[in-house]
Amino acid sequence: MQPLPSKSAPVSISKDPVADLNELIDKISPDKVFLLTDEHTQDLCLPLIEGVKGVTDSQSITIKAGDHYKNTGALASVWQMLSDGGASRHSLLINLGGGMPCDLGGFAAATYKRGIPFINLPTTLLSMVDASVGGKTGINFNGFKNEIGAFRIAEMVLIHTPFLNTLDKDNLLSGYAEMLKHALIDAPETLEKLLITEPDNISAEFLAELVADSVMVKDRYVEADPLEKNIRKALNLGHTIGHAFESLAMKKKRPALHGYAVAWGLIPELKLAVAKEKFPMEIAKKTENYINQLYGHHHFTTDDFDALFSLMQHDKKNKGDRINFTLLSNVGTPVIDIHCSREEIKSAIFD
């Protein structure tokens, strides 16, 4: 393992995930080891970690793939399988997969027996740079993204970048959107590098070189504000509108990958930043053009705005009836808790 200088939680880059998992299992010394995957990672990624100590067929848990299955039913099924397998408070859960298994598995571990240890082994770019890092766990509920959850730090986040070779281009781009967001809130030089990268060059090999830097951006914000009371809200840039896009797309049975929804959300939120915080128009326009090139345009119309606005009203950053945004006054200078009116939001999305 190559530990990253992470202060908010233990994160390591792994060249040999089986050996590293076995070392961690020896260190944690659980009475039983359970492994959670979804149907995709079971087929594509599980063969790459055969030989992990203590994992038997009866202690392997597989859930359906897709964010629409990140719900109470899947959560209850994980609890049930942990219980049927004799999991105790001293058992270990390994979450192998993208953001959905890491979110749901982390929440299952945080709540079963009032908390058991877990390890995240992210297999997608999105989960490597975002979902598996930072201690947020949870599920979707009542049509809202990540509505129910808890803060719980993993024993280790073990990042094995060769898993990126199992991803299609859409899923690589989904994670790339979060890297764009990290660059916008933190690093002008990195943003420039990302914005000049040709779409055909966004490969697993290229992205593997950037993963550690992107993880450390998130780590700095999480370490400064573990429970998201203040500056950690900067990590929600693009997400207030992006989560509404994602939730409504799911309701319309036209699901969008999380990163695509965030990319679409970045455009209107940068427009709001230009209008309210004097963010440089040139950078906002350059970012908008690049996002349109990579992700296309969202399919929502003004007829959808009431539903989108209603979804935004459930955003966890809000205070009362105020919809609060994370905006930017410049690259690397986030401004949190900015109230935007209904008219301002509609104009930013559709004008």
Burial of 198 (0-12, 13-18, 19+ CB in 10 A): exposed
> Rounded to an integer, what distance in angstroms lies between the CA atom of residue 164 and that of residue 160?
8
- CATH code of the domain in which 41 resides: 3.40.50.1970
DSSP secondary structure letters along 287-306: HHHHHHHHH------GGGHH
Examine the domain organization and report whether 173 and 162 are in the same domain: no
> Rounded to an integer, what distance in angstroms lies between the CA atom of residue 332 and that of residue 337?
16
Residue 267 has pLDDT above 90, yes or no: yes
Residue 230: DSSP 8-state? S
- Residue-number span of the structural domain to which 47 is assigned: 2-166
Instruction: Specify the pLDDT at position 177.
Output: 97
Mean pLDDT, to the nearest integer, of 151-177? Answer: 95
Percent of the chain with pLDDT over 90: 89
Top pLDDT among 48 and 276 is at 276
pLDDT digits (tens, 9 = 90+) for 128-149: 998 778 899 999 999 888 999 9
* End-of-domain residue from the set 166, 184, 201: 166
Residue 156 has pLDDT above 90, yes or no: yes
Examine the domain organization and report whether 146 and 197 are in the same domain: no
Number of structural domains in the chain: 2
Examine the domain organization and report whether 238 and 319 are in the same domain: yes
Instruction: Specify the pLDDT at position 8.
Output: 85
Examine the domain organization and report whether 267 and 203 are in the same domain: yes
87 neighbors 32 (Cβ within 8 angstroms): yes
Examine the domain organization and report whether 155 and 188 are in the same domain: no
Mean pLDDT, to the nearest integer, of 249-261? Answer: 94
- CATH code of the domain in which 249 resides: 1.20.1090.10
**What is the SS3 string spanning 109-149?**
HHHHHHCCCEEEEECCHHHHHHHCCCCEEEEEECCEEEEEE
pLDDT digits (tens, 9 = 90+) for 13-51: 999 999 999 999 999 999 999 999 999 999 999 998 988
**Which two tokens mark 23?**
């070392």
* End-of-domain residue from the set 112, 137, 166: 166
Examine the domain organization and report whether 162 and 311 are in the same domain: no
pLDDT digits (tens, 9 = 90+) for 280-339: 999 999 999 999 999 999 999 999 999 999 999 988 777 777 899 999 999 999 999 999
> Rounded to an integer, what distance in angstroms lies between the CA atom of residue 128 and that of residue 226?
18
pLDDT digits (tens, 9 = 90+) for 78-132: 999 999 999 999 999 999 999 999 999 999 999 999 999 999 999 999 999 987 7
Examine the domain organization and report whether 96 and 138 are in the same domain: yes
Residue 221 has pLDDT above 90, yes or no: yes
Residue 175 has pLDDT above 90, yes or no: yes
pLDDT digits (tens, 9 = 90+) for 45-76: 999 898 898 888 879 999 999 999 999 999 99
